[in-house]
Each structure stands twice: as C-alpha cells, then as structure tokens.
Amino acid sequence: MKISYFIAKRLAFSKQKSFSRLIIRIAAAAVALSVAVMIISTALVNGFQKEISSKMFGFWGHIQITRYDRNYSFESSPVSSRQPFYPSIDTMPGVRHIQQFATKPGIIKTGRQFEGVVLKGIAADFDWSFIRRYLVAGDTLTLRPDTMSYGIIVSKTSARRLGLAPGDRLSVDFIDPNTLRVRVRRFTVTGIYHTGLAESDKLFALVDIRQIQRLNGWHNGEVGGFEIFLDDVRNLDEMGIKIYRMMPPELNAITVKQIKPNLFDWLELQSTNEQVILVLMLLVATINMITALLILILERTNMIGILKALGASNWSIRKIFLYQAAYIIIAGMLIGNAIGLGLTWLQWKFSLITLPEETYYVSVAPVSLDPLHVLLINLITLAVCLFFLLLPSYLVSRIRPIRAIRFD
C-alpha cells in the first residue's frame, strides 16, 4: 500500500497537461476570488453596522426613558429627575451611563435666514465623548451648576445653511404651548458638529437643559427623560426588557431600535445581502473545484488502473485526489486572503471608496474586520469544498483496471 501511495504522489500530478494546468489555475483563481469577495463583503457590512449604530446610539443612547403618555412630539412631557433608578442604574451590570435630556422645537433666525430646529437640552451628567468625536469646529458647552449657559452647538448642515461660525449669535423663536405666544431666546454658537446622520444633523442642536426647563415653566428637577448607554449593544433587546420592567407605571423604556426601526431594518438588510454573497461565492468555488477534480480524474484514468492493479483500494486513490484538491483550495485561499485583507487595509488606511453621505450616512465606506470571521470564512470554504468533492471522487471506484490501463 505504501508503494501505491508513493507511486501516486510521484506520478499523479508531477507532469500535468497544459489543459489540466489551466483548469487547476482557474479553480485556484475561483477560490481566491471567492475568499477575497467574502472577506471584503464581511468587512464592509460589519463596518456599516458598527459605524451607523455607534452614531445612532451615541446621539440618543441605547434606551430612552420618558413619560408613558403617547406623546410622540418633540414637546417633552416633564418627568421628575428624582427617580429610584437615577443615577444608581449605572451600577447595574451591563449599563455604562445614564443622563438626562429634554427636547423643544423652535425656529432659528439669523438676519433674513431662518430654519426649524429641535433643541436637545443636556445637563452636567452629559457624556461628551461622542460629540467630541464629531465636533468639526469650536468647543463643547460649559455647564456650571450656578449659571445657566447661553451657548449652543449646531450641526454643520444648519451652520452651512445659515452661515454660522463659532462665536456668532443667533435667536430661536418658540411657541408657548399655554399662551400660544412667541418667546425668543438668544444663544451664542460655541461649537459645530457633524455626525453624517442626515435626520439628526439637519434637525438637532444642543443647549443647556435649564433653558428648556425655563421655557416650559417646569419646576426644578423636571426633565424630558433619560438616556441609558449599555456596555454591549448585543444585549440591547434583553436589557431593554429588563429596564422596562424596572420602570414605575408612569414611565416607559424603549430601545433606539424601536424608535428608529427603518434604519435598523436597513442594517439588517445589509446582513441578508452579505449572506447571499457568501453563499454565491461558496457556490462558485465549489463548482470550479468539482470541475477541476473531474478533469484530473479523467486525465489520470490510466494511472488509476495501474494503482488498482498494484492493490490500491478505491478510498486510498480517492484520498490522493482529495489531497490534491485540498492543496488547490488552500493555495487559492492564501491568495484570496492576501487580496481581501490587502484591499480592506487600503480602504481603511486611504479611504479609496467614497459614498454619498445623505444616502448611506457615511462619506467613506467603513470597514471592520473580525479575525474570527476571517478564520470562519477560510474553514467553512475548505470544509464545504471538500465535502462536495467527495461525490465526484466516487468516480474512481467506477474505473475498471483492465480497461483503464488500455485507456489513452
């Protein structure tokens, strides 16, 4: 038997005909292309999901707590900040931070220019780490405990439309919901942010929450609600249910996925597209490998007959061809990994692919690679291809030694 293996390994693939060499190269190229496309598509989908999710969660938190009164407008209903969960809930496992907020719609006026805006009031417990990442000019608000701030942080979209820059003054008109009279507040632009989320950028500006409390006539300690940030977004649904059950009857806890379902449905659709691409690429690699293996077996019919005459079993001969197929697959995977990882690195480093931000929420195609995903792509590709090659390798057992030796 050892003689059979030795002869097979020396003769089976030492001198390939030009046609079989071409088939092997095509099969290896198909595997390389499939692996490269799978790595790139996985990196792009992961990048989109992480970048857009982080922007959405960073601006609104993972879970919002507001009054349970079916008020879907930006005119916040007041909630007492003296709650049993505030601020101690941030010690709960899985919760990173909790902060107060309130919203109020108004109209920004600068000379002859005006634009609708929603002021988002923030307090001293506000986590500035997200806004600092997207601050393109100026600085954050200075919130002192004894003095109400008259600063405002506007979006780049609003600043461009209204011709604003840090240090400029503007006025915001509000409608008093009780008297229906117009009330005016003047602010100074301290900073300009740009997240790329068009729905948020064109609408929201940040101010001291005490401005909204005064405009609404709220008592000291009343806020519009609370934003909760989690340690791990993968626990969002579970934590959302857990925190909802902790709330008193007058309060409601809802996740951002429930507030913005369309955006997260779009992200889930990207995952579906990724799965389709992975299946198609696996199919391409498998079909090409099956074709290559069949051609190799037919080309070596004479050799198979000789090995059988020497006493080699069908399975031992089949393993020789499967080993050769594995070599081709692994060679193709190495090339595919080099291409896929190389192109992903180039995109991450030099931002070669740009996108219309108003459509995709990002100006550059984001990429994010998980080593585990790359490893799984390679292992699954190798396993699936070899599994489907078992059937065509069965052709070896159908070859008769006498006829095969005379086969030319």
pLDDT tens across 135-166, in order?
Answer: 999 999 999 988 999 999 999 999 999 999 99
* Closest alpha carbon to 108 in 94, 119, 120: 119
Q: What is the pLDDT of residue 309?
A: 76
Cα separation of 138 and 342, whole Å? 37
Residue position matching structure tokens 């000019």: 137
Q: What is the pLDDT of residue 357?
A: 87
- Give alpha helix (H) positions in 61-135: 129-133
Q: What is the pLDDT of residue 104?
A: 94
Q: What is the pLDDT of residue 12?
A: 45
DSSP helix/strand/coil, 213? helix
Question: Does residue 326 contact residue 22 with C-beta atoms inside 8 Å?
Answer: no
CA end-to-end span of the chain, whole Å?
Answer: 25
AA identity, residue 253:
A
- Give alpha helix (H) positions in 208-260: 209-216, 236-246, 256-259
- Domain spans of the chain? 2-55+264-405, 69-248
Question: For 252, left (φ over 0), alpha (ψ -120 to 50), or beta?
Answer: beta
H or E element, residue 281:
helix 261-299
CA dihedral 250, 103, 212, 139 (to 10 degrees): 130
pLDDT tens across 323-340, in order?
Answer: 888 989 999 999 999 999
Half-sphere exposure of residue 328, counting CA atoms within 13 Å on the CB side? 31
Q: Average pLDDT for consecutive 10-residue bins of the chain (408 residues)?
A: 49 55 88 96 93 90 90 84 93 95 92 89 95 95 92 95 93 82 93 90 94 90 95 92 94 92 85 92 93 83 77 82 88 96 96 89 92 95 92 76 59
- What does pTM read for this prediction? 0.85
Half-sphere exposure of residue 64, counting CA atoms within 13 Å on the CB side? 24
